[in-house]
Structures are given as structure tokens and as C-alpha cells.
Amino acid sequence: MTTPTQGAFITSAASTGREGEPAMYLRRAFSLAERPVRATLRLTALGVVEARVNGAVVGDEVLAPGWTSYRHRLVVSEHDVTDDLVVGENVLGAIVGEGWALGRLGWENKRNHYAERPALFAELVLDFGGRTEVIASDGSFRAGTGGIRDNGIYDGETFDARLEPSGWDAAGFDDSAWGDVETVEWPLEALIDSPAEPIRRVEELAPVAVMTTPSGKTVVDFGQNLSGRVRFTVTAEEGAVITLRHAEVMVAGEIDMETVRTAKATDRFISAGGTDTWEPRFTFHGFRYVEVEGWPGELDPAAIRAVVTHSDMTRIGWLETSDPLLNQLHSNAVWSMRDNFVGVPTDCPQRDERLGWTGDINAFAPTAAFLYDVRGVLGSWLRDLALEQKAMGFVPWVVPDVLSTPSSPTALWSDVAVSLPWALYREYGDTGILAQAYESMTTFIRQVAGLLDDDGLWSTGFQYGDWLDPDAPDDNPAGGKTDRHLVASAYLCKTTREMAETARILGRDQDAAEFGALAAHVRAAFRREYVTEKGRVAGETVTGYSLAITFGILDDDQRAHAGDLLARLVAKAGYRISTGFAGTPLVTDALSSTGHLDEAYLLLLETGCPSFLYPVTMGATTIWERWDSVRPDGTINPSGMTSLNHYALGAVVDWMHRTIGGLTAIEPGYRRVRIAPLVGGGLTSASLRHTIAAGDVEVSWKREAQSMTLTATVPEGVTAEIALPLHPDAEMHEVGGGTHSWTYGVPVATGGSYDLDSTLKEIADDAAAWRAFFDAFSTHFPGVPLDGTAPEAAFMTVNTMLEYVPGASDELRGDLAAALARVSEGASS
């Protein structure tokens, strides 16, 4: 801390810290003979706190001090309150709710993870110019209660306006009926200055509809799944109760609370009579819909707002394309990120969980770091991770750790200790991030090195595997198609390489040699166990191939062959997605980097269930936890893990930035960049903007019938390699700062022309044609496989094939001919 601490943690002598207790109100009156030159309030709490000075709310933070590993690091925020003080009597007040320190956290229904009782820490530092006085939280405070009858992050807040003591936070209030305070022990060395942007009210949304449901309930639709709460203004009679229930989704015309599990997500306001504006203070919900009960008369949409609440980070990345569905997918990823950065990076903002799940942020980190400046929030979270890892001897699966069972090292989850600092370094180019995390990174890698079997594989212990593979059984999300230990060893190939690079960058030569050797050892073991000489990957799954291709495990020849096999698998699945958390961030890269851009686009643009765009077609405004959290018939997947707001599967947006937007960093921090959009998927334009240290990079391209325009704006001091998309001579340029534009002719697309006399192979060699053909076939024979790559496909025409299909109707024949005619036309237009 910058200033020595004088305050203590204080609590009401009457507080118990048990569930359902009213929030604690604290006040201290003091007299000033003169106004200070400067007055600074330093504030934190065990619980969540809102401070007042002379009746005014201090600052614009909400849910302060946010959530950190409190015993190691408890954030103290500083507020300038100079203008709020007067000569004469002044009052410093604070309300403390239960928040993360006391409230229940996790699905295990456990509470009081950090503290038995709520407590306030405050220091009002009064600088009189040459002399300083401090009004600090101590035994001179008085304690009472007020309108907040109960409050909890998961369950919501109840405010009874009749019980709010009028003027309690200003001079002249008689607090003689209030009680004493007591000191609570807490390590003052844990207090730290704010390391990240605080949680704030970032935006307000007006309702898009107010509806009456079939059962007669009033439901407000804010049009967007968000994290935050509702603020309303109401005129009501004394004792009127207004109840708000928050939900992500409506099923059969009514709000559905299944996705919030046991979280009550319910706020209540009890009127003292008259007109009030109210918003809960000590809770937040993940919701799009609010069911309002008890509203007097008709609910005027102007009376109610959704207040979007999250860590107030700076936006630095944007992408827009000519495809509205892709734009919605991008928007969904942005919103899921916003909704899940409420202090710590969480899995979801709505249910009885909202924990700092390591695997989720590991999958999404490159996307997050591009969209927002996350150095504050994720830098702080990594400090917590390192401290808890040191104290516990393992990287917890959730940080801060509130699970009752100890975690064990797992790929994609625990190895966030290595891959997150690495991702942040790649994005922001700051070696300080690596240096800060170095001990945590090396400890993790050495721990896993000690677990390898004699062959050098990570073949034992619990693994999450390709979590939520759509083919995993509903009750076993870790039981996907791809062998869990294959996933683990593949991720270890990646993290050992990142570790070796990190050591090299930091000049730790001996470590670099150690980790380099380990990386080579694990890679060789993986290849022996899982890869054939030609490049076939054991298990033959999309995730398995994606890992082997993108993690540099294969040689060049093997890589090309594996890419072909992967493309075949993806086509065979009808471009439905078949990956979970481990494979999804990689599959489009694995395809586009092995010459299968068309297949990557087909996968991205597929809308059937499960696919990237299926949720978008179902009206999703955020990324879902499961590919089919809502099933095609509109019902919620009954597995109990069906959040509509989990960012992990939105990691494909990183590929969209690099491939559709076309911007990649050649050097960490974008000192040198590559601008090379890969045009496909029928897109006709895209524009990307990214704020980097040197300024804004902008890329936009537009494809017209016979020409292409690329415009790139590069900040001074940055060098850009430009590869002109679809240029007939594959022209490249190297440019510096400024705006550069190229317009050039492109060959008219000359895709093939197909009919029923084409061979299956001819059609299969053109991904778009095969897809149209296969789709038409599948409407007649759902689930029946067709293999355009089998040896006989080279000579078997569609007409010949139809002779072998029992029950091939004229209608099927007609549909196949029409589908082939459509692609042939599309290709020549």
C-alpha cells in the first residue's frame, strides 16, 4: 500500500454473518474546523461495500472490492471526496453486504468462504496542507441496519423502503439507538491498491418489449442477455411489494429458471409509499428477461432499465462482415465476455456458479485480449492464481479457489498458468507479464513433468478432455470422442514449447534448455503413441487432428495429410461441429492452415444443430455453454449444465479476427503485423479495427463482381506485411504508417459445373458443391453416410450411385440435380 494503514476491520456487534441477515449500516460523525485541501477515502470490506459522505454515494464503483483471493489480496479503492466535506459536522457512512466473502459460492451450497462476519475498512485521509488527519474505521463507529433486508450474489436483494432510516448518512441523525462495533482480525498486509478497472455500471438498456405471458405474468424483454440488474421508478402505496425474477430464456411463453439452477435471482422492493427509484446494490444477475410482479397498474417501459454491470475495461477490437449471422456470432462473443468479466473471468454470470474457471478463460484468452484491454483484470487474476498455487501446491481449477476438493493438474484448465501469460504477452508484447508469472509457469510445468509415464506421455490422472464435445453423454461432459490423455499430452506439447520460449525471452538459458528438451521429449512421445508415419492421428477425431496440426506436433508432410483427413471428417459430419472446449478454438485454424479454407468457412457458416451459427438462428445474444443448450424444439437441454452465457465456445472469434479481418501480430504486441484476409464463404466485405500500443490498425476489404479493394491503416512505427487477398499474382507489399489502398481485378470465380453425370469425387473435391449435394441427399436419407473420398468415388457418377440406393425416388434425383445446378450457377456468376 502507498500509505500506512491506520484503520481496522470493524463489524456490528450484532452481526452474525449468517444467511438472510440485513446488510450492515455503519456511520461515524466528525467535526471539521476547516476544509481540507484534499480528502481521500480509502475503502474496502469483507463483503461488498457502498460508502457515503454527507449523504452522497462515494464514487461510481459497484460491488466493491470485487472478488480476489482475499486472504492474499484485498483491493482498497481510493476516492477523492474533497468537495463533499464541509466545515462543521460531517458523516462518513457505509453499507456492507455479504458479497463473495460471506455469501454462498459454487453449487455446493457453501457460504462464508472467506469471513464469518461482514466488516468495513475505511480511512478518510484529510490533508490540511502540512498536517494530515485520518478518520479511520475503529471503535468510534456506530452500527445499525436499514432497508436492505437480505442480499446475495446468487439469490438477489430485498429492500424495504419503510425500514430505511432517513438521513442516516448525513449530519443531524440521532444514532443513539444504533449499536457498537467490534474489530475483526484480518491480515492488513493483504491490502492492495486497485490492480484493475473496477466493476461499474457500464451501459443501460431500455426494454424492447413488455409482454403478458399465457399465465398472465408481466415480463420485460431487454433484447440482450447481460450481466447486471434492473433499475426502476415506481409510484406505489406503502407496503406494496414489487418482485423481479431474472431469467435468460423463455420457454412456452414463460420465463424459464432452469439455466440459473438454484440461484433465486430474485429482487424485491417494498414501497414506503410515494415515488421511488430503486436498483439493488449488492447483487447481479445474468438475464435478458425480467418477470415483474406487483407493479401498480400498467408497466410503462420508460420506467425500467437494465443496468449492464461489469469490469470497466477499454474496448480495443472490432470486426464487422457482410454476413449478419456472423456479426451476431461476434456480438454474442463480445457480450459473453462482458457478462463474464465481473471482477474475475468467470464461466457464467447467472447460475449458482460464476466461478473463475481456468479452462474457460484459457480457451477464450486470445479472443478476450483482442476485444478488450484485459491486462488489469487478467493480470490481477494471474496474481491470485500464482499465490493460491504457491499456498496449495497446485493450480486450482477455479481461481479464487472455493471448491471443497483439491484440484489436480489438468490440460487446458490448470495449464492456464502457462498459456494465459503467454497469450497476454503475444497480444501486448510486454515481457513483464512473463517475468511476473515465471515462477508459477515453471512450477506448473515441472509438476507435470514429474507425472509423465516412462514413454514421456501424460497418461494418468483426471482430465477434462475435450469438455462438452457434443457427442459426449449429457451426464459426462468429459467423456467426448477424443481420448482425454491424447488431449492432455497434446496440450503439454504446446505449453512446454511456450515455457521454453518464455525462458529464452527472459534470458534464462538453463531453463530454456531444460524446457526445450522436455518439449522435444513429449512431442516425440506423442508422435510415437498417437501419429502414424503418414500423419493419421489416433482416434480419428476432429479435435485430435486439430490439436496435432495447430500445436506443431506433425512434420510438414504429415501435416498436409492430416489436414486432408481432417477436412474429410468435417465434411462427413455435414459441417456440424464435433468439438468441445479443447478442439473448438483450433479447428478452423487447423483447416485454413492446411489448405482447407473452404471447409473452414463451411464449418463456420453451418446453421444446423450443433454448429457455430445454430444458437444464432435460435435467437441467441450470447455464446451458449453447450452447442444445444436450447434444443431445436425450443426446450432447454435437460442436463443441468445449460448456461446461455459461457464464452469458451466463442473462441472461434479469434480466428475470425485473424482470417476474415486478416490481422495477425508477427511480433508480440503488433510491432510488426501481417494483413492477409482470407476471403471465402461468400462474404463480400469485412472491416476490422484494433487498438495497439502504437495506435489503431484498420483493415477493410470489399469484393465486387470482378474486383477487390483492400484498405489498411497502419500506425506510425509499425511495419505491415500485406498479402492482397485473391490477387491473381498473389501480390505482397510491405508498408509503414499511413493509409494504403489497393483495387485490382480478380478472376471471376470459376468453380466447377456439376450434374448427375459428375463423379462423387469431382463433387467432393469442391467443398461447397459437396455440401449442397450432401444436404440434399440427407433430407431424403438422414444420417446415411456418403463418402466422396472412397476409391470408387473416383469413377462412380451420381447416376450410377443412385442405382445402388434402394428406394431412390425421382424426387431425390430431382433434388440432387437441382442442388448441383445451383452450385454450378453460383460458381459461374
- Residues that bind ligand BGC in the complex, under the rule CB under 6 A: 347-348, 353, 357, 359-360, 464, 641, 646
Least distance between ligand BGC and beta carbon 648 (Å): 6
Find the DSSP H helices in 429-508. Answer: 431-449, 484-505
- CB-nearer residue toward ligand BGC: 150 or 353: 353
Cα separation, 601 vs 613, in Å, equals 12
- CB-nearer residue toward ligand BGC: 468 or 566: 468
Least distance between ligand BGC and beta carbon 154 (Å): 14
Percent of residues in the chain assigned helix, strand, coil, to nearest 5: 30, 25, 40
* Given 606, 625, 698, 762, the catalytic residue: 625
Cα separation, 421 vs 499, in Å, equals 10
How many CB atoms sit inside 10 A of residue 681's CB? 20
Residue 89 known to be catalytic: no
CA angle 331, 336, 337 (to 5 degrees): 100
E strand or H helix at 199: strand 199-205
C-alpha cell at 343: 471482477
E strand or H helix at 817: helix 810-828
Give Cα 508 distance to the centre of its chain.
33
Cα separation, 587 vs 568, in Å, equals 13
Query: What is the 3-class SS of 496-538, one letter each residue?
Result: HHHHHHHHHHCCCHHHHHHHHHHHHHHHHHHHHHHECCCCCEC
Least distance between ligand BGC and beta carbon 360 (Å): 5
* Given 21, 279, 353, 388, the catalytic residue: 353
Find out whether 356 and 105 touch, Cβ atoms under 8 Å: no
- CB-nearer residue toward ligand BGC: 397 or 428: 397
For residue 138, CA distances in Å to 3, 16, 292, 389 come to: 17, 19, 42, 34
Sheet with 56-57: strands ordered across: 56-57, 48-53, 88-97, 24-32, 142-144
Least distance between ligand BGC and beta carbon 225 (Å): 16
Least distance between ligand BGC and beta carbon 347 (Å): 4
Phi and psi at 331, nearest 5°, equal -60, -40
- CB-nearer residue toward ligand BGC: 343 or 535: 343
Residue 185 known to be catalytic: no
Find out whether 515 and 496 touch, Cβ atoms under 8 Å: yes
Helices (H) and strands (E) in the chain, counts: 18, 35
- CB-nearer residue toward ligand BGC: 347 or 606: 347
Identify any residues that bridge with 672 across adjacent strands, giving them in sequence order.
719
- CB-nearer residue toward ligand BGC: 197 or 353: 353
Looking up cell 485430435, which residue turns up? Answer: 544
Residue 408 contacts by C-beta under 8 Å, 6 or more apart in sequence? Answer: 394, 414, 461, 462
- CB-nearer residue toward ligand BGC: 9 or 581: 581
- 295: phi > 0 → left, psi -120 to 50 → alpha, else beta; which? beta
Least distance between ligand BGC and beta carbon 351 (Å): 8
Least distance between ligand BGC and beta carbon 354 (Å): 9
Least distance between ligand BGC and beta carbon 359 (Å): 4
C-alpha cell at 173: 441523525
Least distance between ligand BGC and beta carbon 549 (Å): 24
Position closest to ligand BGC via CB: 347
- CB-nearer residue toward ligand BGC: 82 or 639: 639
- CB-nearer residue toward ligand BGC: 123 or 360: 360
Least distance between ligand BGC and beta carbon 362 (Å): 9
- CB-nearer residue toward ligand BGC: 144 or 359: 359
Cα separation, 829 vs 826, in Å, equals 5
**Active-site residue list:** 353, 625
